[in-house]
Amino acid sequence: MNENSNKLWAGRASKSADSRVNDFNSSIRFDFRLVFEDIRGSIAHATMLGRQGIIPSDEAAALVDELEVIAGEVARGELLPPADAEDIHTFIEAELTSRLGDAGKRLHTARSRNDQVATDFKLWVREECLNLRAEFAGLVKALISIAEKNLDTVMPGYTHLQRAQPVTFGHYMLAYVQMFLRDCSRLTDTYERTDGCPLGSGALAGTTHPIDRELTASLLGFSAPCENSMDGVSDRDFALELLADLSIASVHMSRLAEEIILWSSTEFSFIELDDAFSTGSSIMPQKKNPDVAELVRGKTGRVFGDLMTLLTAMKGIPLAYNKDMQEDKEAVFDAVDTVRLGLSAFIPMCETMTVNAERMRSAAGKGFINATDCADYLAAKGVPFRDAYKAVGGIVKFCIENDKTLETMTLEEYRAVREEFDSDVYDAISLDRCVAGRSVYGGPAPAEAAKRLESAKLRLAEYAEVQA
């Protein structure tokens, strides 16, 4: 016996591992977070071992009971791992052995930490897919309710951040609703694909014991065991998918955050953040800063980094398990925590912001945002669109030089450019007409946007219903 004798793998080495190796190898400080998944996995495994007669059934029952006791102690904060524990699997097994003796030592029959950790982590990721989806559904709900109140709130739409064509604030919010609904749908896909129970894959090559993988899979809520034992222990696609989902969702949050930062500036003044969701400056008394939105934007890089961490860890490792894979957990935990924390402040920040409809409207009234409509007016009168476009370009130039707008051009001035212009041009270029006229499917016309809003509500309800 040597100093490694308290290690699960004691026996092979003739010399104890250097304490610095132990420190470096240990994952308990972060994988303790998988404690309940680890216990669930062990309960399923012990149950199966007992039913298959691989271990005595009374010992299996004792193991299940004691695992439940341990879960209770952990939940109440009564049981914590010692600082020198190697990982969550070692800790729970050592705890069982100290309480039950040989029964504890039999638990690991026909199992490896490789299939154990893959199972624990899959269980954790599956649950978080549904939790996060519900949290994003909360954001969708908040944005839908802002949209509902602002279907008539005309504002400028931009391309290249230059005023382009008029839209409504409701329509604008519904664009984000679509993005976040896709995020919910991606999390659903990841949840569904995070199936196939790794337990029973063993270290990599299954086991010679007569285990029942269907039973453990179903006890843990998977639809089936995974098909290949080597894939079972070396697959981390599910973690990568969750990180990719969260990275894309973070892009969406960051873009909305960026808009909110712009809109709350004095230059735009389209919205005002609630005092409870903004901060002041330590030196400039007039400041009201959009810190929440900025931090949401800023933390996006962490989530991308987490995805990159795991992609890089996985890209060059041969089958099956390699210790590199221990790096999967911190990356995923960090991304989940970062997105969750961001959402928890971002949603109420959105809910409490006030919309300055007059400012939006007056901004939409400037910058010749109705120039396309003016060209469309001519096109509807039979002028080829390209000619109409040129004519209106000339009108805009004339307006700029003479300090006019399309609304203040006289009919004579219009007619001097094209004789097709008539007095109905003023109605055609009015802001409300420009918006209402865009009643094409998916367009900003209030009546059309209201229909799309209803279908967004239906999709949202779908996500609220599908709960594990």
Task: Mark whether 265 is an active-site residue.
Answer: no
In one-letter notation, the amino acid at residue 230 is M
Dihedral sign (CA 316, 321, 326, 331): positive
What one-character-per-residue DSSP string does 160-218 give? TTEEEEEEEHHHHHHHHHHHHHHHHHHHHHHHHHS-SB-TT-TTTT--SS---HHHHHH
The answer to whether residue 87 forms part of the interface with ligand ARG (CB under 6 A) is: yes
Residues 150-169, interacting with ligand ARG (CB under 6 A): none
Contact positions with ligand ARG (CB under 6 A) in 312-331: 321, 323, 325-326
Residue 327 CB, shortest distance to ligand ARG, in Å, is 8
Instruction: Give the C-alpha distances (Å, rounded to integers) separating 311 from 304, 324, 465.
Output: 11, 11, 33
Whichever of 118 and 453 has its CB closer to ligand ARG, that residue is: 118
Interface with ligand ARG, residue 439, by CB under 6 A: no
**Min separation Cβ 321 and ligand ARG, Å:** 5
Q: Which of 14, 98, 160, 423 is catalytic?
A: 160
Q: If binding is defined by CB under 6 A, does position 113 make contact with ligand ARG?
A: yes
> CA 36, 42, 44: angle at the middle one, nearest 5?
105
Q: Which of 281, 344, 362, 455 is catalytic?
A: 281
Nearest distance in Å: CB 339, ligand ARG: 22
Rounded to a whole number of angstroms, the minimum distance from the CB of residue 87 to ligand ARG is: 4
Q: How far apart are CA 79 and CA 416, in angstroms?
A: 87
Is 201 a residue that touches ligand ARG (CB under 6 A)? no
Q: Does residue 250 belong to the site contacting ligand ARG (CB under 6 A)?
A: no
117 counts as binding ligand ARG under rule CB under 6 A: yes
Q: Which helix (H) or strand (E) holds 101?
A: none
- How long is the chain? 468
Of these, 60, 67, 95, 114, which contacts ligand ARG (CB under 6 A)?
Answer: 114
Residues 25-44 that bind ligand ARG (CB under 6 A): 27, 31
Does the annotation mark 160 as catalytic? yes
| Interface size with ligand ARG, residues (CB under 6 A) | 10
Residue by residue, what is the 3-state secondary structure of 259-271? HHHHHCCCCCCCE
Q: How far apart are CA 124 and CA 118, in angstroms?
A: 10
What is the amino acid identity at position 218? S
CA quadruple 295, 298, 302, 308: dihedral, nearest 10: 150
Closest approach of Cβ 28 to ligand ARG, in Å?
Answer: 8
Nearer to ligand ARG, 218 or 326 (CB): 326
User: What's the closest the beta carbon of residue 92 comes to ligand ARG, in angstroms?
Assistant: 12
Query: Which bin fits 288, alpha (ψ -120 to 50), beta or left (φ > 0)?
Result: beta
Quick one: 131 or 326, whose CB is closer to ligand ARG? 326
Q: Is the peptide bond before 320 cis (omega within 30 degrees of 0)?
A: yes
The catalytic residues are 160, 281
Q: Interface residues with ligand ARG (CB under 6 A)?
A: 27, 31, 87, 113-114, 117, 321, 323, 325-326
